[in-house]
């Protein structure tokens, strides 16, 4: 191991133990228990996303061209007879034929929630419904019976529909968008909570002159990267603790459940059917990777900017714009989670500081895996650039003792010379004299 890496890991271990091996770390570890209010806000936002996505629901009827008009009239007549809260989802009619898609493919199309699909002859329609025994499937059967009743001159035999439950890939768009919003909210909350600790530790060490001792002993680049790595270790410990608590709580809750009550309530696996489009394993793993990227981005910025201040008040004033910017990135990503295929979502996924949040939300609604590896590479480039610039700011702030922006003062002469040269060139151009 090179001396640079050795010094970096020494600083990382020092900062990690300085935070973890203290009684106050227990309060920090239990901080989420005091954030029930923020969790309620997140749940409210998720429910609003679910309500907005629920409006995109539909039922589909794949019928012959001769039945399209009659089916539309029957749908309009039945909807007028129902009140607003009892009306079914929007009916989408498609013409059957050799090129018509398979009903199962239609039921799993992205972009809207498909609750039921009817195909085949109206006398014996095949109805694929998302939830077994749903009102959407019964409504399609009622439409078929109404069309046959209008055409018949005498008694009409009852319609004998064949119902099928869509058991695979049945997670609704609303549920997946809610999962995406939950990932955005969790990454934002943990990033803001954990990355902010770098600023407080920086203020403490600048106040008691420890940072100057470290700067005299090891290269400042090792100090910067060691502090960033140490805080990342604290963040991983924080997530691991609550992950174990969640798994243990779920296991205990499962043991306390009455199997007879679960069986009487319906299919016990229905609650577990809600899954992200990319799968639970990939979704959790890629969300952790995006958290690391977001933490490194924000932590590097906090360290670089925090090194410019000499007092706690100055650090708070410098941290406020960063926090406001991060809240803006959260709002942008939350809006992208509610509209996965919009231009706003693509912008949020490409913008470096919102990309970790928006791509985590995309993993909940898009089953593609390759795009996430490209996104991680893109974010790694920006992490490297941010760390490089923050190291320079960190060096300037530490060497100047935090008394002003030495990074700017060091380069002020160069900036003044460039400005003077530009002014001289402009004056020469106006007078026609050589410069």
DSSP per position, 215-278: HHHS-HHHHHHHHHHHHHHHHHHHHHHHHHHHHHHHHHHHHHS-HHHHHHHS-GGGGGG---TT
Cα 136-137-138 angle, rounded to 5 deg: 90
pLDDT above 70 coverage of the chain, percent: 69
Beta bridge partners of 92: 60
Per-residue confidence at 258, pLDDT binned at 50, 70, 90? low
- Domain presence at residue 433: no
The mean pLDDT of 128-155, rounded to a whole number, is: 78
E strand or H helix at 327 = helix 312-338
- Rounded to whole angstroms, the maximal C-alpha distance in the chain is 104
Task: Give residue-wise pLDDT tens across range 351-378.
Answer: 988 899 999 988 888 888 889 999 999 9
> Are 151 and 185 found together in one domain?
no
CA atoms within 13 Å, Cβ hemisphere of 100 = 19
In whole angstroms, give the CA distance from residue 366 to residue 88.
27
Task: Give residue-wise pLDDT tens across range 31-52.
Answer: 666 665 666 665 565 555 555 5
Identify the weakest region by mean pLDDT among 8-12, 69-73, 160-164, 408-412: 408-412
Among 165, 195, 224, which residue terminates a domain? Answer: 165
Give residue 169's pLDDT. 46
Query: How many domains does the chain fold into?
Result: 2
- Collapse the DSSP code of 397 into the 3-class scheme (helix H, G, I; strand E, B; otherwise coil) and give the result: helix
What ranges in 30-172 are assigned the alpha helix state H? 36-54, 65-81, 103-107, 135-151
Q: Token pair for residue 238?
A: 């924080």
Per-residue confidence at 415, pLDDT binned at 50, 70, 90? very low
- Domain presence at residue 244: yes
Query: 183, 364 in Cβ contact below 8 A?
Result: yes
> Are 294 and 359 found together in one domain?
yes
Name which of 17, 59, 360 is nearest 348 in CA terms.
360
> Are 17 and 149 found together in one domain?
no
Give residue 347's pLDDT. 92
> Are 187 and 250 found together in one domain?
yes
Name which of 318, 306, 308, 309 is nearest 396 in CA terms.
308
Classify strands 126-129 and 90-95 as parallel, antiparallel or unpaired.
unpaired
Give residue 378's pLDDT. 93
- Domain presence at residue 123: yes
> Are 85 and 15 found together in one domain?
no
Strand order in the sheet with 58-63: 90-95, 58-63, 114-119, 126-129, 162-165
**Residue 275 sits in which domain range?**
3-34+172-404
> Are 237 and 353 found together in one domain?
yes
- Domain presence at residue 67: yes
The mean pLDDT of 334-339, rounded to a whole number, is: 83
Phi/psi of residue 280, nearest 5 degrees:
-60, -45
Give residue 235's pLDDT. 82
The mean pLDDT of 154-175, rounded to a whole number, is: 61
Q: How far apart are the first and last CA of the chain?
A: 54
> Are 366 and 396 found together in one domain?
yes
Among 112, 135, 165, which residue terminates a domain? Answer: 165
The mean pLDDT of 117-130, rounded to a whole number, is: 84
Q: Which residues contact 38 (CB under 8 A, 6 or more apart)?
A: 189
- Domain presence at residue 47: no
> Are 15 and 140 found together in one domain?
no
What CA–CA distances, in Å, run from 341 to 174, 227, 337, 362, 365? 14, 38, 9, 9, 10
Give residue 123's pLDDT. 83
Task: Give residue-wise pLDDT tens across range 170-221.
Answer: 556 667 778 888 888 888 888 877 776 776 677 677 666 777 777 777 787 8
Q: Token pair for residue 107?
A: 């039921």
- Domain presence at residue 51: no
> Are 105 and 189 found together in one domain?
no
- Domain presence at residue 326: yes
Query: 8, 229 in Cβ contact below 8 A?
Result: yes
> Are 244 and 318 found together in one domain?
yes
Question: What CATH number should be reported for the domain holding residue 98?
Answer: 3.40.190
pLDDT above 90 coverage of the chain, percent: 6
> Are 20 and 131 found together in one domain?
no
Torsion of CA 61, 63, 69, 74, to 10 degrees: -50
In whole angstroms, give the CA distance from residue 296 to residue 377.
14
Average pLDDT of the chain to the nearest whole number: 75
> Are 347 and 376 found together in one domain?
yes
Per-residue confidence at 165, pLDDT binned at 50, 70, 90? low
Give residue 36's pLDDT. 58
- Domain presence at residue 231: yes
Buried b (16+ CB within 10 A) or exposed e, 109-147: eeebbbbbbbbbebeebebbbbbeebbbbbbbbbbbbbb
Q: Supply the Cα-derived Rg of the chain in whole angstroms.
A: 30
Phi/psi of residue 170, nearest 5 degrees:
-95, 5
Identify the weakest region by mean pLDDT among 328-342, 379-393, 400-414: 400-414
């Amino acid at each position: 191991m090179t001396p640079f890496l050795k010094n970096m890991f020494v600083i990382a271990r020092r900062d990690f133990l300085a935070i973890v091996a203290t009684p106050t770390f227990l309060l920090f570890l239990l901080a989420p228990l005091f954030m029930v209010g923020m969790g309620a806000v997140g749940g409210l936002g998720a429910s609003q996303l679910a309500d907005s996505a629920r409006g995109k629901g539909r039922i589909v009827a794949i019928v012959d061209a001769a039945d399209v008009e009659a089916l539309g009239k029957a749908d309009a007549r039945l909807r007028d007879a129902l009140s607003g809260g009892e009306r079914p989802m929007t009916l989408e009619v498609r013409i059957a034929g050799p090129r018509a898609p398979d009903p199962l493919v239609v039921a799993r199309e992205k972009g809207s929630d498909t609750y039921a699909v009817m195909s085949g002859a109206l006398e014996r329609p095949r109805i694929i419904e998302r939830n077994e025994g749903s009102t959407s499937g019964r409504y399609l059967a009622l439409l078929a019976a109404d069309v046959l009743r209008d055409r018949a001159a005498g008694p009409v035999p009852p319609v004998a529909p064949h119902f099928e439950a869509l058991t695979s890939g049945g997670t609704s768009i609303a549920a997946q968008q809610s999962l995406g919003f939950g990932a955005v909210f969790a990454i934002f909350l943990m990033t803001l909570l954990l990355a902010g600790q770098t600023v407080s530790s920086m203020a403490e060490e600048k106040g008691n002159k420890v940072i100057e001792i470290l700067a005299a002993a090891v290269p400042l680049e090792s100090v910067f990267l060691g502090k960033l790595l140490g805080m990342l270790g604290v963040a991983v410990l924080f997530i691991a603790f609550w992950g174990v608590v969640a798994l243990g709580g779920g296991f205990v809750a499962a043991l306390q459940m009455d199997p007879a009550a679960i069986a009487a309530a319906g299919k016990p696996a229905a609650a577990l059917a809600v899954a992200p489009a990319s799968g639970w394993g990939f979704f959790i793993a890629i969300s952790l990777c995006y958290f690391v990227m977001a933490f490194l981005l924000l932590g590097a910025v906090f360290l670089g900017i925090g090194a410019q201040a000499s007092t706690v008040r100055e650090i708070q004033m410098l941290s406020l714009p960063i926090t406001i910017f991060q809240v803006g990135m959260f709002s942008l990503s939350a809006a992208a989670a509610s509209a996965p295929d919009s231009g706003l979502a693509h912008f949020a996924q490409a913008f470096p500081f919102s990309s970790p949040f928006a791509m985590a939300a995309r993993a909940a609604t898009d089953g593609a895996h390759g795009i996430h590896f490209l996104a991680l590479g893109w974010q790694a480039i920006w992490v490297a650039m941010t760390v490089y610039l923050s190291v320079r700011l960190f060096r300037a702030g530490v060497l100047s003792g935090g008394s002003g922006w030495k990074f700017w003062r060091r380069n002020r002469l160069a900036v003044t010379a460039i400005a003077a040269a530009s002014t001289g060139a402009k004056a020469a151009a106006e007078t026609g004299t050589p410069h």
